[in-house]
Structure 1
Amino acid sequence: MTGGGTAGHVTPNLALVPKLKQKGFEIKYIGSKDGIEKEIIEKEKIQYYSISSGKLRRYFDFKNFSDPFKVAKGLFEALKILSKEKPNVVFSKGGFVAVPVVMAATIKKIPVVAHESDITPGLANKLSAPFCNKLCVTFPESLNYVKNNKGVLTGSPIRDDIINGDIIKGKNIAGFKTNKPIILVMGGSLGSKVINDALREKLDELLKEFNIIHICGKGNFDKSLDKIEGYAQFEYVSNELSHLMKSSDYVVSRAGSNSIFEFLSLQKPMLLIPLSKKASRGDQILNANSFKKEGFCLVLEEENLNKDTLFESIQRLKKEGTVLKNAMRKSSMSNGVEAIINVIMDNMKK
């Protein structure tokens, strides 16, 4: 396995690991020397190999002149690792570190299966695609961006612990004493100041109807709100997240692909506030609009976000929650673990 740069390029791999081990696979991982993937993978007691990794940028930066040498070094390091391990297949989740690994696998005639979370492939997967046997995609629209019949619609892999969260544990972690409906508010792994501010400005009104779990991001904890009944704020959660998600009746979130497919698998009515194009390449906007088209969510654009529009959208979410839930219940793309493993098995070097 390979992939790194953000948690979104790593954690979906972990959803596949238990099922792959059940089928007799031995798992090894190639990542960068100092990326987030190293800590995540080593915690899982999976053997980890580090290689050099240069960042691939669409914009001008002087590092663009030095980083190709890091990629070349990473290619030679990946070739050495693959020569030693002789894997039957390489699975790539994308990110900059994956490019030299995928290229090395092709040189060694090792089949490569990759997975793209967003509707439009990221730069790393665009560069990797010619070297892949198959590119698994999460959204139906993504097939339009994959050439040579390599695209396979699988959905996103969801970890068992997300699906198996406990409602009672979630309520106990949050410390709620009433049975009001619960809203989970989260702004991505780093939090979102605009979502935090809009929520907190309407907190008194919202708490009349809801209990609120607020994952606000590191450094965004507000001590002045710490003792308010029905409001549980966390800078960051890890093992507790599955229980908090399971106990929630509604979700307000950014529109990262991994997260929204977790909400889909749990059938949580969601209000999505995608990152604007000013702060991203626009992939979250596409993700959110795709889910809106399927009838899974409501969308509030960041440019239109303020305390009043957030409050109004949450009221609408409560009103339309049953309709959204029914649409999600009928969906066939809630968990892609089995579909991705089938693609891996079909393309494995015998």
Structure 2
Amino acid sequence: MKLIVCGGGTGGHIYPAIAIAEYFKNQDSSTEILYIGGKYGIENKVLKNYDYRFETIDIKGFQRKLSIENIKRVFKTTSSMLKMRKILSKEKPDLVIGTGGYVCGPVVYMAALMKIKTAILEQNVFMGMTNKILSKKVDYIFYGFDEALKRYPFDNAIVSGNPVRTLEFNYDKKTAREELNFSSDEKIILSIGGSGGSQSLNDAIKLFVNYAEKNNIRLIHSCGEAYYDELKEEFIDINYDKFELYPYIKNIGKYMQSADIIICSAGASTLSEVSYFGKPIIAVPKAYTAENHQEYNAKMIEDCGAGYCIKEDILNADILANRVQNILFNQDVFEKMSDNSSKLYKGDACKIIYDALI
């Protein structure tokens, strides 16, 4: 079998594609996999850690205004479509799966035109523009959350949940804490701002450290590589030994399992990983995301009773401390949110996707 997966721009699009590819390969070792990403996306860096053939196309999303740059991007999209026709004609894949990002447009659309079996994964509650276009062409649509199916009840849609890198997340809490040298009884908060970091979350954490120290809470914050050097300088005078600052956490599963509460951006992939471990969530949706999809995701988390949504324009250390206090020091709330978070995880999304397509 020949499989093409595509997804790019953010880790939330890339890692689900990798998880799907790994599952297909594990089911049939003869499966040939080609990953197609954007020419400038972080997938170029991430895929170096995996043994997949990798191709890129030159594609960027359109600006929401008339501009010379948009005209250039029309030509790039056309060029990418032609390149994809050549790649697909050469590869003759049995299946093409897109997991999000502008790169999926030319790849999946051309595959559908060429009558190749196609599928897309809509990870968010609110469907992005690329998937709205592709949804009318593909054979299968997979949703990360039940709420998405309520909004877009296509006949060919299935709620699979979002793929999680289960091989990298195979930790129980006791083992995870032991490997990280954390004690079994300490309270731990993990804060992650997404693959690109979050300025607003970084700003709130600067003062939230004081709350963590006052309450003897271990605080682990992943700030994003672009912000790390600046934040490291700002935190140089902080002597709290239970505060850990990282630009990026590679083995994030171990840290997620160790945590009691997870503060994070509201990307669908991150939320699915958190719910895989059944952790209460404080979701901080990034305001600049396409179609404001993160806010829809975060509101869903709060509506389901799995945590809180704090919008960026009101986020500060005091509000963060208030929400943490309500969860971490109220056992009933903590247990209910943990249970509701677990319910958001649909099970093995990769298996559901595989069984539907094969």
Q: Same fold by TM (over 0.5)?
A: yes
Identify if the C-alpha distance between structure 1 residues 332 and 7 changes in structure 2 by more than 3 Å, giving closer, same or farther.
closer
TM-score, L = length of structure 1:
0.90
Aligned residue identity for 2:249: V
User: Matched residues in 1 for 2:185 and 2:176: separation?
Assistant: 13
User: Matched residues in 2 for 1:235 and 1:55: separation?
Assistant: 27
Contact 2:266 2:295 in 1 (8 A): yes
Identify if the C-alpha distance between structure 1 residues 243 and 302 changes in structure 2 by more than 3 Å, giving closer, same or farther.
same
1:348 maps to none
Structure 2 gaps, min length 5: none
2:12 to 2, 8, 11: 8
RMSD (Å), alpha carbons: 2.3
Identify if the C-alpha distance between structure 1 residues 295 and 79 changes in structure 2 by more than 3 Å, giving closer, same or farther.
same
Contact 1:54 1:68 in 2 (8 A): no
Aligned residue identity for 2:275: L
User: Matched residues in 1 for 2:143 and 2:289: separation?
Assistant: 24
1:314 to 314, 321, 324: 324
User: Matched residues in 2 for 1:126 and 1:232: separation?
Assistant: 41
Segment drifting more, 92-101 vs 294-303: 294-303
Identify if the C-alpha distance between structure 1 residues 271 and 78 changes in structure 2 by more than 3 Å, giving closer, same or farther.
same
Q: Deviation per CA, 1:148-194: give whole Å up to 9, x if none.
A: 52322111000024431465675477665784211001112222232
Segment drifting more, 309-318 vs 48-57: 48-57
User: Matched residues in 2 for 1:12 and 1:334: separation?
Assistant: 14
Contact 2:13 2:269 in 1 (8 A): no
Identify if the C-alpha distance between structure 1 residues 168 and 232 changes in structure 2 by more than 3 Å, giving closer, same or farther.
farther
Aligned residue identity for 1:245: M
SS of residue paired to 2:341: helix
Structure 1 gaps, min length 5: 346-350
Does residue 339 (structure 1) correspond to residue 352 (structure 2)? The answer is yes
Contact 2:177 2:184 in 1 (8 A): no
Q: Deviation per CA, 1:62-95: give whole Å up to 9, x if none.
A: 2111111111111111111111111111111122
Contact 2:276 2:345 in 1 (8 A): no
Task: Describe how 1:188-227 pairs up with structure 2 within 5 A.
Answer: 188-207=194-213, 208-218=215-225, 219-220=227-228, 221-223=231-233, 224-225=236-237, 227=239
Task: Describe how 1:131-210 pairs up with structure 2 within 5 A.
Answer: 131-146=137-152, 148-165=154-171, 167=173, 171=177, 176=182, 179-207=185-213, 208-210=215-217
SS of residue paired to 2:6: coil
2:268 to 236, 241, 257: 257
Contact 2:275 2:345 in 1 (8 A): no
Aligned residue identity for 1:248: A
SS of residue paired to 2:308: strand
The alpha-carbon deviation at position 335 of structure 1 amounts to 4.2
The alpha-carbon deviation at position 32 of structure 1 amounts to 2.4
Contact 2:96 2:117 in 1 (8 A): yes
User: Matched residues in 1 for 2:182 and 2:12: separation?
Assistant: 30
Segment drifting more, 79-88 vs 224-233: 224-233
- Number of aligned residues: 343
Segment drifting more, 62-71 vs 48-57: 48-57
The alpha-carbon deviation at position 198 of structure 1 amounts to 2.0
1:39 maps to 45
User: Matched residues in 1 for 2:249 and 2:92: separation?
Assistant: 37
SS of residue paired to 1:113: strand
Does residue 273 (structure 1) correspond to residue 284 (structure 2)? The answer is yes
2:298 to 283, 288, 295: 288
Identify if the C-alpha distance between structure 1 residues 62 and 147 changes in structure 2 by more than 3 Å, giving closer, same or farther.
farther
SS of residue paired to 2:32: coil
User: Matched residues in 1 for 2:343 and 2:248: separation?
Assistant: 32
Does residue 237 (structure 1) correspond to residue 249 (structure 2)? The answer is yes
Identify if the C-alpha distance between structure 1 residues 247 and 147 changes in structure 2 by more than 3 Å, giving closer, same or farther.
closer
Task: Describe how 1:32-111 pairs up with structure 2 within 5 A.
Answer: 32-111=38-117
1:21 maps to 25
2:132 maps to 126
Contact 1:3 1:94 in 2 (8 A): yes
